[in-house]
Amino acid sequence: MPTKSTGTIGILTAGGDCPGLNAVIRAVAKAAMHYGIKVIGIRDGFRGLVENRTIPLDNALVSGILTQGGTFLGSSRDRPHKMEVGGKVVDLTAAAVRNYRRLKLDCLVCLGGNGTQKTALRLHERSGMNVLTLPKTIDNDVAETDITFGFDSAMAIATEAIDRLHTTATSHQRIIVCEIMGHDAGWLCLGAGIAGGADVILIPEIPYDLEAVARRLMRRQRAGKRFSIVAVAEGIVSREEAKTRAAADRMSHELGLETRLIAQAGSAEGIHLVQEPVASRLARRLQQLTGVEARVTSLGHVQRGGTPTAFDRLLCTRFGTKAGELLAEKHYNIMVGLKGTLCVPVPLKKVAGIKRTVPVDHPWIKTARLVETCLGDETE
């Protein structure tokens, strides 16, 4: 490990924000400066690089931000090769590269989820820019790391919400369907569902059988339970929807839609696209099937707000300082991941473009089944 190094790095935060971004910025910057590397903050993700909006970082600027949610640099979902300018989508990769060179950067440090990993690799491959990434997302779906930062904090928020829903659900003898983020991965819903003791947990990786869920809820009612909590991931699909999903994906691709659409069988063409929140539809149908009053809570962006948990603060500080060490060694074009107890560099090529969803034989799935949680797939 070098005692001193040289050069300049840029740092940006891209994609959806989450608790822990400021903690990582602080740790990368402090460790890099410790080794003698200059640090430049880039505003609003890749858009700030394209538009050359930067801020030199020093110890004072990264001090006192460990516990702050969000990102003081700002974030965006913009990608240099597909930037929206004046209502048009244009490729501004050349501008990003020009600014990277103008700032005399040795490496661009990118804090982001799957989209960011892909964009960073693309910039490296297309322009020769050096990049180093860190795995950020509440969805926990980045490959080559045991966990992403932000996940634990979001899981704590969703768990607390489920705890609170228990008391109101039991007072009114209701089913409460709680929608949890996670994009197409079920980690957040499964983790919070188990931790909060949800009675039913539905995740995208296990297409659900509506009637099996209803049967479980009625069984609970017959057993004298005064409530049921159904935790659902935003990306869930029913068994029927899973069958038509491939066709719907093809259709949304052909239409050039950026939003994720939910395929529903039953229209004249066999596929009907709807955008109603998944929890509302589910609650309505469960109320019809069980005769029990149902309500919906969609946690939404509350899950991305506020201060990081102690676990995330520690993880972020470890991720960031490891990145600082690797930058001092001029070890680039990697992501820092957690493998077991160690923060390690992994080739970015092994990460970009791969979504880590919940394997159906994952220990958390077995855990849920052993405490009799319904995952929507058994014959009840």
Catalytic residue positions, numbered: 139
Tell me if 185 sits within 8 A of 151, measured CB to CB: no
Letters for 91-120 (x = contact with ligand F6P by CB under 6 A, - = none) are ----------------------x-------
For residue 321 the two structure tokens come to 């300082």
204 binds ligand F6P (CB under 6 A): no
279 binds ligand F6P (CB under 6 A): no
Distance from C-alpha of 148 to C-alpha of 316, rounded to nearest angstrom: 9
137 binds ligand F6P (CB under 6 A): yes
Query: For residues 150-168, b (16+ Cβ closer than 10 Å) or e, as one string?
Result: bbbbbbbbbbebbeebbee
| Interface of this chain with ligand F6P, residues 153 to 192, rule: CB under 6 A | 181-183
Letters for 221-260 (x = contact with ligand F6P by CB under 6 A, - = none) are -------------x--------------------------
139 binds ligand F6P (CB under 6 A): yes
- Start-to-end CA span in the chain (Å): 58
Separation in Å, CA 380 to CA 88, 238, 377: 52, 16, 9
Query: What is the total count of residues that contact ligand F6P (CB under 6 A)?
Result: 10
Q: Dihedral, CA atoms, 323, 328, 333, 336, nearest 10 degrees?
A: -20
**Cβ closest to ligand F6P, residue 164 vs residue 301:** 301
Cβ-Cβ contacts under 8 Å for 136 (sequence gap 6 or more): 13, 15, 18, 20, 21, 24, 111, 112, 113, 116, 148, 149, 150
Interface residue with ligand F6P among 16, 80, 186, 376 (CB under 6 A) is 16
- Which residue's C-beta sits nearest to ligand F6P? 181
Tell me which residue has tokens 């001193």.
4
**Cβ closest to ligand F6P, residue 274 vs residue 342:** 274
Interface residue with ligand F6P among 43, 220, 304, 356 (CB under 6 A) is 304
Interface residues toward ligand F6P, by CB under 6 A? 16, 113, 137-139, 181-183, 234, 304
